[in-house]
């Protein structure tokens, strides 16, 4: 059985809803899952998991949250080479550029994206929740 982490930061609760749906998709495939807020995750934990789903909303000028999430993610980068990961997050404006940039960054560091990212505007609707469960299943 694989062990998967769902690591997220959420300002409004929308990305947290997505994280819980991702975790549900992992559970439905029979894998062990741990949902962890970004402030409680570190590069030392990357090796404890077979795969990691990272979730962060778009902030400011379509960037990752800069005080907690981005520093944590940047510290983990060297350990993500060859690691199975998936990305998700919500946004309230723009066109998803932050996610496109994040995906390219992950590919550049050698992470193995198991599926296309999942984004949604504002609170996830039923379609977004289903997409999150599928994202989680792709890691299991």
Regarding pTM above 0.85, the answer is yes
Q: What is the pLDDT of residues 84-98, one digit of tens each?
A: 999 999 998 888 899
- Asked if the 3-139 domain carries CATH number 3.90.79.10, the reply is no
DSSP the chain: --EEEEEE--SSSHHHHHHHHHHHHHHHTT-EEEEEEGGG--GGGGGG-SEEEEE---BTTTB--TTTHHHHHHHHGGGGTT-EEEEEEEESSSSSHHHHHHHHHHHHTT-EE-S--EEEESS--HHHHHHHHHHHHHH-
**pLDDT value at residue 94:** 82
């Amino acid at each position: 059985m694989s062990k998967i982490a769902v690591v997220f930061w959420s300002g409004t609760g929308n990305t947290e809803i997505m994280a819980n749906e991702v975790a549900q998709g992992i559970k439905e495939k029979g894998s062990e899952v741990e949902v962890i807020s970004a402030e409680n995750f570190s590069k030392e934990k990357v090796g404890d998991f077979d795969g990691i789903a990272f979730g962060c909303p778009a902030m400011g000028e379509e960037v990752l949250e800069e005080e907690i999430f981005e520093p944590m993610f940047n510290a983990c980068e060297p350990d993500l080479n060859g690691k199975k990961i998936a990305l998700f997050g919500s946004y309230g404006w723009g066109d998803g550029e932050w996610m496109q940039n994040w995906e390219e960054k992950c590919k550049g560091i050698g992470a193995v994206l198991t599926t296309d990212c999942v984004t949604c505007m504002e609170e996830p609707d039923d379609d977004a929740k289903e997409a999150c469960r599928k994202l989680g299943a792709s890691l299991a």
